[in-house]
Amino acid sequence: MRFLFIFLFFLLPLEFFSQKIYIDGKISEIEQNDSSKLLIGLKMSPPFTMKNEDGRFSGISIELWEAIARDLGVKFRYIEYDLKGLLEAVENGEIDLCISPLTVTSERLKKFDFTQPFYTSSIGIAIKGKQKSFAILLISNIFTLNFLKAVFALLSTIFVLGFFLWLAERKVNPNFANGVKGMGDGIWWSAVTMATVGYGDKVPVTPLGRAIAVFWMFLSLIIISSLTASITTALTMDRMSTNIEHLNDLAKLKSASVEGSSTQAFLQKRGIKVHPLKTIEEGLRLLENGKIDAFVYDKPILNYLIQQNYLSDKLKIIEQDLNLQYYSFSLPRNSKLLNEINPLLIKELESTEWKRILSQYNLSQE
């Protein structure tokens, strides 16, 4: 009897004891021979798909799929991929279903099928710091070293032109008397002329004085225009770093997104180049350290990771919804599972349990 027990023990399926499902992107030989379980592909996309410290998976997509699987009465195993590997696995039919939240795009629809969307969101843009008011930006730019240098150069120019006009007019023009007062009158005229106020109380009468006046009038226009443009540019760029109102604003900044993601493809179609990164965590880390100005990815995922990593006081998501996105499960082309999953998926989305799941992960259906 003892020998029979030992014999049966070793005949039990080895997969019963296996906890390692995915190794170096390939299913083990034992698991390949077992076709009784559905192969469910996923990648880490918190809070939709996550892996706990004990190796178990959790998240919104996990709970949604497992509810559907119970209704279907099917067994399954999870297989973890990176984004590129996951897309290839679905397209090549290596897995039966992908439950990570893939955005439905026209390009992806040509390669595999999608279920009914289970979540609607938008592209999110993470930026560093909190938005500054215009008044704060103005004051901060006024008290910069470059601005003070520009003001000093302008005052020096006003003084020099006023001094030369006084030299030209002091002997024949009573408006520019000799001495310190006459020099002061010349500087006053120079400042008024530059500001295009034109009081007319000080007017040059000598040919040299008028020549200086004409030269100064044209030079003043150039100086004022350049100074105004410099201040406007400084304020715009500072404000842009904390206030992006349109996707095209990203082209003016050092932006990044996840390589191969639907967000990167969306931006490229619109001629917006972003630096490709391997992971979301890398993007948030570079943004926190000031290495990039903006990180673009799916809004709910960005929000969740910023909160979970206690970065809310350092990073923020801009309020604008810049592009609507639909999250769905995906399957190989012409999969029979599609028609079985869709009715059950809709049933779950209409349940109060779905609202509880979203609330548990601090999300709401947008």
- Please answer whether residues 150 and 234 qualify as being in contact, where contact means their C-beta atoms are separated by less than 8 angstroms: no
Amino acid at 184: G
The percentage of residues in the chain with a pLDDT greater than 70, rounded to a whole number, is 77
**Residue 12 to residue 316: CA distance in whole angstroms:** 53
Quote the domain boundaries for residue 115.
Answer: 2-119+327-360
Residue 343 is assigned to a structural domain of this protein:
yes
**In this predicted structure, what is the pLDDT of residue 213?**
79
The C-alpha torsion from 7 through 11 and 17 to 22, rounded to 10°, is: 150
**In this predicted structure, what is the pLDDT of residue 10?**
42
pLDDT band with cut points at 50, 70 and 90 for residue 327:
very high
39 vs 14, residue with greater confidence = 39
Same domain, 83 and 22: yes
Q: Does the pLDDT value for residue 25 go beyond 50?
A: no
Same domain, 61 and 152: no
pLDDT tens digits, one per residue of 227-241: 777 666 655 545 444
Helix H, strand E, coil C: the string for 118-129 is: CEEEEEEEEEEC
Q: Last residue of a domain, which of 240, 263, 283?
A: 240
Same domain, 162 and 115: no
When pLDDT is averaged across residues 133-137 and rounded to a whole number, the result is 55
**In this predicted structure, what is the pLDDT of residue 138?**
58
**In this predicted structure, what is the pLDDT of residue 366?**
52
Q: Does the pLDDT value for residue 201 go beyond 70?
A: no
Q: Last residue of a domain, which of 211, 240, 269?
A: 240
- Note if the pTM is more than 0.85: no
Q: Which two tokens stand for residue 298?
A: 């799916």
Residue 281 is assigned to a structural domain of this protein:
no
pLDDT tens digits, one per residue of 152-173: 888 888 888 888 888 888 777 8
- Please answer whether residues 107 and 265 qualify as being in contact, where contact means their C-beta atoms are separated by less than 8 angstroms: yes
The percentage of residues in the chain with a pLDDT greater than 90, rounded to a whole number, is 31
